């Protein structure tokens, strides 16, 4: 994941990785990453949970916009099936 992201970035396309094991994110050094303490196989959330998935996409786009430090890993506060999601305000990204 980190190697692929770095190669994509060399071509001028910004990337954000989602990781479920922080130790691996620290070792592979993707350009930007969001870390979640969630079950493996579910990096974008529960199937059918649209608000949860929109929130993660919003967080990824926000990181793309605001990130100034290469290799940054952001720990997201969400807990699997224990968080009430609201509609993200995508207008903040303009």
For residue range 58-89, what is the model confidence (pLDDT) as tens digits? 999 999 999 988 899 999 999 998 899 999 99
- Residue recorded with tokens 């786009």: 61
Spatial distance between the Cα atoms of 84 and 8, rounded to a whole number of angstroms: 34
Q: How far is CA 31 from CA 13, 60, 66, in A?
A: 11, 12, 13
**Residue 23, pLDDT above cutoff 90:** yes
List the beta bridge partners of residue 33. 17, 73
User: What domain count does the chain have?
Assistant: 1
**The pTM is what?**
0.90
Q: What is the mean pLDDT of residues 39-51?
A: 92
Domain hosting residue 31, numbered range? 2-93
């Amino acid at each position: 994941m980190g190697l692929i992201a770095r190669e994509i970035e060399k071509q001028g396309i910004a990337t954000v990785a989602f990781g479920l094991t922080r130790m691996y994110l620290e070792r592979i050094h993707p350009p930007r990453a969001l870390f979640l303490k969630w079950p493996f196989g579910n990096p974008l959330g529960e199937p059918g949970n649209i608000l949860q998935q929109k929130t993660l996409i919003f967080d990824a786009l926000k990181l793309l916009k605001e990130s100034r430090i290469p290799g940054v890993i952001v720990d997201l506060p969400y807990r699997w099936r224990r968080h009430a999601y609201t509609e993200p305000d995508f207008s903040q990204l303009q």
